[in-house]
Chains A and B, each alone.
Chain A
Amino acid sequence: MNKKELLSLTAAGCAAALAAGTVTSVELTQTYLDAIEERDGEIGAYLTVAKELALSSAAASDGRRAAGKPLSALDGVPYAMKDNVCTQGVRTTCASRMLENFVPPYSATIYQKLNAAGCVMLGKVNMDEFAMGSSTETSYFKKTRNPVNTARVPGGSSGGSAAAVAAQLAAFAIGTDTGGSIRQPASFCGVVGMKPTYGRVSRFGVVAFASSLDQVGPLTRTVEDSALVLNILAGQDPLDASSLPHAVPDYAKSARPASLAGLKIGLPEEYFGPGIEESTRKAVLHTAELLKAQGAVVERCSLPLADYALPTYYIISSAEACSNLGRYDGIKYGHRTKEARTLDEIVTRSRSEGFGDEVKRRILLGTFTLSSGYYDAYYKKAQQARTLIMQDYAKAFEQFDCLLTPVSPCTAWEFGRMSDDPLEMYAADICTVSVNVAGLCALSLPCGADEQGLPIGAQLIGRPLAEETLYRVGAALEAARKEA
């Protein structure tokens, strides 16, 4: 296979080629490293390329394969890791000046799992600073461009992950999703993004933004790839008390195209209102028709509390963020100011210099909502609203196996268009945040393009631990679109 063919392989395709011996992991990895060197200057997905580490992992993988002992289906397949996942010995910055030179002394559980499966980490990819943002523009280091149209943002916060997959600079990528940070960039870049159920994947070693909302998941070229990667990531971790004890099924089994007969899919009307761009609305409704054609029953439904999800999300996430980011004080690791005489000055100036505006904005919001005197009016209220939003969904899931909505009200925007108006940027999260607030799983799938050729994403929302249902619907949709 030539380089172009190798780069166009899905993760499952890479696995097949490696298994057939048509390519070695070292060749595959070197091909990706070359591609990164040639093209990432324009895309800007990678913050750190772990060249030597990747090649030595690839060589080890080839050794195992030669010995007939591959570690998993994806042994030897190269991927990109979002830069908020701690990787022992490899710089982990969270795209922040605060952690510019931070090399973790330990590895996240998911990095250990990917290593144990033999996957080859090519490097660490760009993101919004501490995952706060929807365009990867809040990164301290650089812009990441949307491979579909480089004048556009890739979405965020896992913009580097989505761009790396879309630009064929990694076979798959790992992202994190606190309010849409996997699904929205996947949608903007035209790839598949899975936000698993809260607790399905360990958060240990994933730098926390909002503890009760954060979740790790794969960004891939196909539904099947997504399932293969989730097979590796999912499972209970004794180091993460919020991780769920439920057995992990073989997700790949559900990610095969099959009839959707017997499935009921809901279209919550609140997600198709006036704020949604017409081309997006049309594409998602067309998706509904495709699903019907596969045998699913699709009906309109209502989530009356949908409007409350956005304020609830921003109160809870900012409160948790302000708490989680307190540890960056310039004392133990990370950025320390050069001009300080007292302890107070070290802390205040290190934080003032180390954090960007968006991070500071969230810290201030969180500090305000947790202040004594305001706690009841904001944080406590938000927690009560959260319970009601969960009930809202639970009611819908009594009738439907999953829900179909847009991922984003609009397609990828031009650089700078939203960065002056944080409220407008926050509003763009309207379709994704409630999934995190309610702890559900959701899959973002390409479902068309707008007039400018920019990808549109459809979101399938499932009840807790219904990832298999989402993969089943996703695989059917993928197949239907290919035929159409």
Chain B
Amino acid sequence: MEFETVIGLEVHAELSTQSKIYCTCSTAFGASENTHICPVCTGMPGVLPALNKSVVEYCVKAGLALNCKINQYSRQDRKHYFYPDLPKAFQTSQYDLPLCYDGYLDIDVPEGDPLDGKAQKSTYRKRFGITRIHIEEDAGKLLHGAGSTRIDYNRCGVPLIEIVTEPDFRTAGEVHAFLTMLRSILIYAGVSNCRMEEGSMRCDVNLSLRPGPDAPFGTRTETKNIASMSATVRAIEYERKRQKKVLEKGGVITQDTMRWDDERGLNYAMRSKEDAHDYFYFPEPDIMPIEVDDEWLGRIKASLPELPNARRERYMADYGLPAYDAGFLTGERALAEYFDDAVAAGAPPKSASNWLMSDFARLTNEHSLTWDALPLSPEDLAKCIALVESGKISRTSGSKILDAVFSGDTRTPDELVAALGLAQVSDEGAIRAMCEEVVANNPKPVADFKAGKEKALTSLVGQVMKASKGKANPALVNKLLRELLA
């Protein structure tokens, strides 16, 4: 039997605010256990929350970036359940008045398997609906040891946004493309660093199958604990196949909450609908309603940077870059800003794009560097490109300069050209002498060229370059040889 897969997502992203949502404790990741805590975030008797305003701003930013409408009057609600990582026994969240709602994201979805590693693929454009985005607080973490369990409250009260999508996804590829773009946008907007491996971005997958696009939705399961982009794809494929098998045997899907075990590559049920929680939601009486007036909303809007889609369009329209280049350059905000700065420093856009896609992609990978921590300034990249394009050095020498700088050499490109002896010889007299010698010593290729074999010239150019130890300007060599052989 063939089924259509229907997927909706709940994405949690930890916000990049300096302090927690209701107290001034630090949100920094990786501190020793229970060092970023206070009476407020550990839920001591008598404490009250003081809402961190930047949490509201970050959430509204995310909403604007994802084309949402903004609830200018919203509030927080308490969601109750007992668990040791939740010290107040309720999570302060938003229930019926989320800050943002009714948004969407247009995505160019690549065809085929998202994990096959192929770079350039054909794409189709699709719009994915965003139901709502709300703010809430993170919980602590249980540390299970031999015979005992300890609790680390450092993450308790770290602000989160939860992004809930419409059930608009039909394949794991669509989910992968959406999450990639979502991540990029949230990082762009400075809302979250979206490090899935640190748990600062998490994704729950709601998945069901139905016989065809017009059939009503089937019963869905919710899969939690997905800790990476590729795990999302694996978990979706696993759950899709599992449900298909059940349905093909005439079985029934139960509305379970599943937990993904990426190591073993399987899903298992955590709880079924029967023991679904009643969360006893009610409006948080200790926090005043959140009012985002026009003036505040305007300021938040003004603080939003140019987002990837708009930037991509601009690169194609203004710089004439191919779609692939534009997509690559706008994939991360730091990369796009680096590119913009290099162009501003005089680099021709297509050249800068080529250098970034080739040498830089290779070197950042080799040296495990992120785009926001490159050792070469955009001005120096523009300088390198200028050196090559003016014929002062060869393109190969340009790569040598980058290799040196990425390996820790702090000298400027000009100093490196001198120190490494990379300057091309463009002295016409000296090169003409070398050319004459090569013509004299290589009668066979000379004869071949004169007989009409264009390729023979390449061999002669190579001889001259060799004689000049690679420093001769290849274009000049070419030109002089043609003159000599004319």
Contacts and interface: CB of A to CB of B under 8 A. Distances in A.
A99 B48 contact: no
A242 interface: yes
Contact of A241 (B46, B80, B288): B288
B282 A241 contact: no
Interface of B: 38-39, 42-51, 78, 80, 82, 84, 87-90, 151, 278, 280-282, 285-288
12 contacts: A85-B46, A86-B45, A104-B45, A204-B48, A206-B46, A239-B50, A241-B51, A326-B88, A329-B89, A332-B42, A332-B43, A332-B151
Interface stretch (A289-297, A371-379, A407-415): A371-379
A389 B46 CA distance: 28
A212 B48 CA distance: 12
A229 B371 CA distance: 60
A99 B44 CA distance: 11
Kindly list the 10 A-B residue pairs having the minimum CB-CB distance in the complex, ordered from nearest: A326-B89, A211-B285, A212-B285, A370-B280, A207-B45, A205-B46, A106-B39, A207-B46, A86-B46, A331-B84
B286 to A, nearest CB: 5
A39 interface: no
In which size bucket is the chain A interface?
35 or more
A362 to B, nearest CB: 14
Nearest to A320: B285
A406 to B, nearest CB: 29
Interface in A243-285: none
A105 interface: yes
A347 B82 contact: yes
Contacts, number: 98
A327 B87 contact: yes
Interface SS of A by simple majority: loop
Nearest to B38: A106
Nearest to A202: B48
Contact of B90 (A108, A212, A240, A326): A326
Contact of A329 (B49, B82, B278): B82
B43 A327 contact: yes
A367 interface: yes
Interface in A314-328: 319-320, 322-323, 326-328
Contacts of A375: 281-282
Given A86-B45, A108-B46, A241-B49, A327 B280 contact: no
Contacts of B285: 211-212, 242, 320
B149 to A, nearest CB: 9
Interface in A337-376: 343, 347, 367, 370-372, 375
A282 B151 CA distance: 60
A367 to B, nearest CB: 7
A11 interface: no
B50 A241 contact: yes
A84 B282 CA distance: 24
Contacts of B288: 241-242
Contacts of B287: 241
Given A238-B50, A323-B78, A343 B84 contact: yes
A94 interface: yes
A64 B49 CA distance: 35
B280 A371 contact: yes
B44 A105 contact: yes
B358 to A, nearest CB: 54
A379 B282 contact: yes
Nearest to A205: B46
A323 B280 contact: yes
A112 to B, nearest CB: 13
B403 to A, nearest CB: 55
A211 B286 contact: yes
Q: Which of B38, B44, B51 has the most CB of A within 10 A?
A: B44
Nearest to A334: B45
A102 interface: yes
Contacts of A204: 46-48
B45 A327 contact: yes
Given A367-B280, A370-B280, A104 B286 contact: no
A117 B39 CA distance: 24
Contacts of B278: 371-372
B156 to A, nearest CB: 11
A92 interface: yes
A326 B88 CA distance: 7
A327 B46 contact: no
Contacts of A238: 50
Contacts of A108: 46
A179 to B, nearest CB: 15
A323 B45 contact: no
Nearest to A343: B84
A239 B46 contact: no
Given A326-B88, A375-B282, A379-B282, A240 B39 contact: no
A372 B45 CA distance: 27
A472 interface: no
Given A108-B46, A327-B89, A370-B80, 7 more contacts: A84-B46, A106-B39, A208-B46, A242-B288, A327-B87, A328-B45, A367-B280
A167 B433 CA distance: 117
Contacts of B89: 323, 326-327, 329
